[in-house]
Amino acid sequence: MNELKQASNLSVEVKPLFGLSLTELTAAMERLGQKPYRASQLQHALYRQRITSLDQATTLSHPLRDKLAAEGYVVGLPEIVQTARSIDGTERYLIRMADGETVETVWMPDGDGGERGDGSQAAEDEEAEDSETRTSSAPGFPYRRSTICVSSQVGCAVNCQFCLTAKLGIRRNLTAGEIAGQVAAVLNRHQVELGSTRGNYTPARINLVFMGMGEPFLNYANFMDAVRILTQMPIPESRMTVSTSGILPGIEQFATETVRPKLAVSLNASNDSVRESIMPITRKWNIATLLEALATIPLRTREWITFEYVLLGGINDSLEHAEELIDLVRGIRCKINLIVWNSGPNMPFHEPLQSGVSAFQKRIMAAGIPAYIRRPRGRDIFAACGQLKRTVESAPAPLIAIAPADTLAG
């Protein structure tokens, strides 16, 4: 955040560059009397090189960098200020924005199955990953692929009863730069290179899941702008999955997008009565309305709608619920992602028995519907699904100081 302090000392308005589109960068450069190609150079520095200060934008002349700084322009990446590390290698970060607000972001080495939105790994993707790993892995980077769980809002307004984030309420939406900036900050921390090897950076396959704090479709425009930024880094949308609780206007708009991540819908119940008791948003858009909206999405080749289903002991985990779920989704090109509830303090729920989880899965699969059980990651540091609650306010696991990236291998 040194560049923010420097801009503040100049008594000028601080203007973050990270998050701006090429059109916006071009307009900024034109205001400074620069040619349009300078905007392309700056865009490359921001999103491909992931610079953290203007001093690192070496394709721009020193006078131009000084002029940008004098005008109050800064890179403006959010800052990792605390981290907790799980016994399974998962890391949970408290990330601070320029105004001091914080969110949590999670790094999962080797993923958790959620990167595909369904817990599965298709054979052709396995083969592609193996090929990519053989040609691009570098010594010192221990993971074939990793997943970053990204937040879209400070807090959340949806109020799902089983989710710790709901206890925060909603503070504000994140900007496109703050959403994509979480990814850049985590990649820089782990010295991940997306593409050709550069310096000490190592290439890797990265998947993104927008399943952190907040409801992405209640911050739709900023979320989609962030997706477009992330594709420039470059992370293809085919490696992104967005989870929604069922925001109807967002789903309808999502169906019209030409560049979009895969979609996962947090269903969590087999009927409106149960769903309303754990997800109050059902009062506004019931399951039938939700399914009608999903039917408008033009699925691409080998694309499926994923229904996420958090199993809550004694509430939605019986075989009768499984039968109802089968009837609901029959005829939809879909997969079921089963998530055993991840506990939290003062939450009135409990995990289902493992035997019941297996029986639930087998019943769905017997009906010809793919069903997967997501592998929990980072439970011991409250980094698993539904456990994010801003470390600065709730610290269920010991916090450790940020370690240099070169100490993280292994």
Question: What residues act catalytically?
Answer: 104, 385
384 torsion bin: left (phi>0), alpha (psi -120 to 50), beta (else)? beta
CA 156, distance to chain mean position in Å, is 14
The upper half-sphere exposure of residue 166, i.e. CA atoms within 13 Å in the direction of its Cβ, equals: 17
Q: How far apart are CA 298 and CA 300, in angstroms?
A: 6
Cβ neighbourhood burial of 112 (10 Å; 0-12, 13-18, 19+): buried
For the chain, the helix, strand and coil percentages under 3-state DSSP, each to the nearest 5? 35, 20, 45
23 torsion bin: left (phi>0), alpha (psi -120 to 50), beta (else)? alpha
Q: How far apart are CA 341 and CA 352, in angstroms?
A: 8
User: Which residues fall within 8 angstroms of residue 365, CB to CB, at 6 or more apart?
Assistant: 371
Cβ neighbourhood burial of 410 (10 Å; 0-12, 13-18, 19+): exposed
The upper half-sphere exposure of residue 51, i.e. CA atoms within 13 Å in the direction of its Cβ, equals: 21
